[in-house]
Amino acid sequence: MGRRLSTEPVTTAVSEGRTAGAPATLTAAGVAKSYGTLRVLAQIDVSVAPGEVVAVLGPSGCGKSTLLRVLAGLEPPDRGRVEIGGQPVRGPSPDRPMVVQGATLFPWLTLRANLEWGPKALGNRQAGAIVDELLEATGLSGSADLLPRQLSGGMRQRAAIAQVLANQPPLLLLDEPFGALDAQTRLRMQEWLIGLLAERRTATLLVTHDVEEALLLGHRLLRLSHRPATVLEELALDLPSPRGRSTLSDPRFVHLKGDVLTRVLDA
């Protein structure tokens, strides 16, 4: 595993009075969202502490991606509040990056330039050192001078996550980031992400349709209802660490997966 990212404060505060690299808790309370007469989110309460991964599981079309967009500040809630480190979310910010299935790298920039773009734009004078550490942590040091089209699908997704972590955000929002990958690559990426996040204090919210992925990556699980979404239940995922491919055959994991899958299918 690569070195830890430096968490020394930088001279530029990235948003809302927060110093880059400082951990913070996400809190959302009573969040509701509609589009005209279509009610998508009824009332959602969620919190994610620094270093915690919360997995959100729910049926297709229930509003999981809408929830992420509200938490990211891309859309305002109709009701309720969203806060990062006690500060209200009032719009988009590098503090709340969202990673989706398709890697969103600049196609004309090399991998290194892609990762340096964010911290340089924020005036972070440690951009070069941060990117060097991230390239090592993600196993991409040997590909730093390649363009995105020269990378494999798994490498592009690693790079997309590294790109947003380069801004040292307190919160990472993941919208099925490995959904487009084949099963073998997806498992390798899940193991890689578990190791990467274990070294950091980033609060992480993962949206997925995959019960196995939710249980493997999450410390807690929120199961949403059909639209308009509410939280049906919250489960603490007390599984042994470190998690990885051996976890999939652990009797506790197998039992928990069957139990959660039954609840999802019977909902």
Kindly tell me the number of DSSP H helices and DSSP E strands found in the chain: 7, 12
The reported pTM is: 0.85
User: pLDDT for 119-142, tens place per residue?
Assistant: 998 888 889 999 998 998 888 999
Residues 242, 132: Cα–Cα separation, whole Å:
25
Report which DSSP code applies to 4. P
Map out the domains of the chain with their CATH numbers.
Answer: 26-97+170-266 (3.40.50.300), 108-168 (no CATH)
User: pLDDT for 167-176, tens place per residue?
Assistant: 889 999 999 9
Residue ranges with strand state E in 110-192:
171-175
57 three-class SS:
strand
32 CB-near residues (< 8 Å, 6+ apart): 39, 41, 42, 43, 44, 77, 78, 79, 80, 228
230 CB-near residues (< 8 Å, 6+ apart): 42, 43, 44, 224
User: pLDDT for 82-95, tens place per residue?
Assistant: 999 999 999 998 88
Q: Which two tokens stand for residue 257?
A: 């997966």
Q: Say yes or no to pLDDT of 13 above 50.
A: no
User: pLDDT for 202-255, tens place per residue?
Assistant: 999 999 989 999 999 999 999 999 999 999 999 999 998 889 999 999 999 999
Does an H or E element contain 84, and which? Answer: strand 79-84
What angle do helix axes 153-165 and 127-137 make, rounded to 10 degrees?
Answer: 140
Average pLDDT, rounded, for the chain? 88
